[in-house]
A = this chain, B = another copy of it.
Amino acid sequence: MKTKNSKSAAPFAYEGLDRVIHERARLSVLTSLITHPAGLSFVELKKLCALTDGNLARHLQVLEGDGMIRATKEEDAGRAQTTVRVTASGRKRYLEYLTILEQIVRDAASVAHEHDESQLLRKLSPLST
């Protein structure tokens, strides 16, 4: 019976690809926040991710409801401003998700490398040159 190890049974299933994170706009927002641990304002996030007010608000709601980010109203030079930060659990989930993205890149990179079509992939696989 080899059914216990679903990873080796279905090596391309990528079951860890968290659907909350995988959606493109949320992946943009979370990557922005991960790389800016001090937090970002609503306006900064909008610009970094090229999202509309409505879209960003909707995705922040999903991420906050899921405990991955926290939005706080703060005073900045007398003006109220929303600052968004990734939470510890959000960070942990994002990093788990990231290991799956890395796995996909590795799975595909070996083949792409053979065909010499991607400069980037070559840099990612220094041991195979």
Task: Using CB atoms and an 8 Å cutoff, list the residues of chain A in contact with chain B.
Answer: 6, 9-15, 17, 19, 22, 24, 27-29, 31-32, 34-35, 37, 47-51, 94-95, 98-99, 101-102, 104-105, 107-112, 117-118, 120-121, 124, 126
Contact A101 B104 (CB under 8 A): yes
Copies per complex of this chain = 2
Residues of B within 8 A of A6 (CB): 50
- Known A-B contacts A121-B102, A126-B126; A108 and B35 likewise in contact (beta carbons under 8 Å): yes
Of all chain B residues, which has the CB nearest A98? Answer: B108
Of all chain B residues, which has the CB nearest A17? Answer: B24
* Minimum distance in angstroms from A98 CB to a CB of chain B: 6
A60 to B118, CA, bound (A): 26
In the A-B complex, list the 8 residue pairs whose CB atoms are closest, starting with the nearest: A10-B50, A13-B50, A12-B32, A12-B48, A12-B28, A17-B24, A102-B120, A12-B49
Residues of B within 8 A of A47 (CB): 9-10
* Minimum distance in angstroms from A16 CB to a CB of chain B: 10
